[in-house]
A and B are shown apart, each in its own frame.
Chain A
């Protein structure tokens, strides 16, 4: 009886693996085919990028675009700016958002649901209409053309997301853990930092990535708030490869691909970080 059950469990497991792999391969195809074209374009000269009929494999592959983005254009500066802005945005919004999420999760204070609604409602405000007034504020405090001005805007936009997400993850952590800490005489803040946060780290991954990417990829705010080259972000730099008459396709695609790397690296780093933390929680995978 046991042998048959084990055999059917194994077969079930294998079917599951096959199904999973097929799905993953299909998804990989979907995810990668535009990226493959971008890669192909990035290895061409500007003239070949526009050649007709199109060629997937460049006839004379060249790393020209990858070199020129650092030498002809200051993408080094752009990367520095983007990493600072996105990194600080990710950290700040995650921390402030987690605080708020914890408040929503654990405390039944008056006006709680209304405040939750307010947080979501602020996400519905169209960015287009906020930029003019926000710019007025920045100009008044001389934060125009500053990374700080950008960071404040991005963090504020990410906060509702961070708060809602954190609340969701905190809700799945049993309140008994908090109670245990209270019995031990810890303050609420200490419980938050020492007990809840370590377990909640997987939840923060999505918030960190979301905030990092939102700040990294934004064009409209950066476009309006930054007008000097030294403070430009990578996304702005990429946008500027589209001119009135010429689009520098190889540099556009090369810079976009390199621009994806920080997020990928961030995810790799975070992944290792939280997989270890999860071992405590006895979780599958």
Chain B
């Protein structure tokens, strides 16, 4: 009966993952292959005349290099912001405080504003002439310069974009972590308290381990999604000043839809996917490990 159960298990396992796998293959894999093929096709050409010229160009392209650097910084800082704020809020909201529901809803609001709208609004709010942020700051700190530049400043533009992106994305991490927190049985906390553990020790030994799988998954997904985020950056700065806030996703979009060089855009996208895949390998291994 033992081996029969194992065989049946494997069989049934495939059935559970089958619908999702089929959909992914049908809808995404065919275009992915087209992208791959495009990236090794000479410009404007067709058929099977393959070339690596676009990849060669990519390795020599200083704009692409700068964009990669920007993207790493963008993703890393956004992940940090999302995680720190998301975890802190999840912990705060996991308590039986009065007014909890209201705060939960408020914390959720940035997630409900579309990227395009968020980008335009932040751009407006941060404008030196007709933006609403500078007057607010001046109310609190009258010495603050009246027409202070945010998105036009070479040093502050990038942080401003991070600021907006953290705003947009923290609720997702918060909701994921909150659900994870709720799944940790109270008995574990009570047992630790009986053993004499203080707040911090309980956090380290009960909360974090209980949350560890969710945290891993949240980080992995957030990383992939921040690499893809483009509407916010595009509407907020257009990649500027110069190329200081250009990220891979906006560059691919521009190269495809504005420069009309589909082949080069495909090569860039393949490179981006390759890098992303390498970065997520640790997560995949950790998540896939048998517990």
Contact = CB atoms under 8 A, between A and B. Distances in A.
Nearest to B116: A219
A217 B114 contact: yes
A56 B138 CA distance: 14
B277 A115 contact: no
A156 B107 contact: no
Which residue of B17, B272, B288 has the most chain A CB atoms within 10 A of its CB atom?
Answer: B17
Which residue of A100, A137, A192, A242 has the most chain B CB atoms within 10 A of its CB atom?
Answer: A100
B176 interface: yes
Given A23-B92, A122-B29, A128-B252, A260 B109 contact: yes
B185 A283 contact: yes
Interface string B14-30: 11110111011011111
A24 B34 CA distance: 47
Given A124-B277, A128-B269, A206 B179 contact: yes
Contacts of A108: 9-10, 13, 290
A56 B273 contact: no
B183 A120 contact: no
B92 to A, nearest CB: 4
A283 B187 CA distance: 8
Main secondary structure of the interface of A (DSSP, over half): helix
A162 B21 CA distance: 12
A223 to B, nearest CB: 10
B35 A125 contact: yes
Interface stretch (B52-60, B67-75, B127-135): B127-135
Contacts of B192: none
A66 interface: no
Interface in B87-107: 88-89, 91-97, 101, 103-107
Contacts of A268: 101, 105
Nearest to A99: B16
Interface in B186-224: 186-187, 189, 199, 210, 213-214, 216-217, 220-221, 224
A144 interface: no
Nearest to B167: A30
Nearest to B198: A12
B217 A168 contact: yes
B78 interface: no
Interface string A189-201: 0001000000000
A117 interface: yes
Interface stretch (B42-50, B154-162, B237-245, B279-287): B279-287
Main secondary structure of the interface of B (DSSP, over half): helix
Interface residues of A, number: 108
Given A124-B224, A169-B183, A202-B182, A129 B176 contact: no
Nearest to B217: A168
B97 A17 contact: yes
A34 B27 contact: no
A263 B20 contact: no
B272 A126 contact: yes
Contacts of B91: 20
Interface in A206-220: 206, 209-210, 213, 216-217, 219-220
B88 A238 contact: no
B273 A124 contact: yes
Contacts of A278: 182
Nearest to B231: A219
A27 B224 contact: no
B76 interface: no
21 contacts: A20-B95, A23-B92, A24-B92, A24-B103, A31-B106, A31-B110, A33-B133, A96-B19, A102-B16, A103-B16, A108-B9, A109-B10, A156-B28, A165-B221, A205-B179, A239-B116, A259-B112, A263-B111, A264-B108, A282-B187, A284-B186
Interface of A: 12, 16-17, 19-21, 23-24, 27-28, 30-35, 37-38, 50, 52-54, 56, 96-97, 99-100, 102-104, 106-110, 112-113, 115-130, 132-134, 137, 152-153, 155-157, 159-165, 167-169, 171-173, 188, 192, 202-203, 205-206, 209-210, 213, 216-217, 219-220, 235, 238-239, 242, 252-253, 256, 259-260, 263-264, 267-268, 271, 278, 281-285
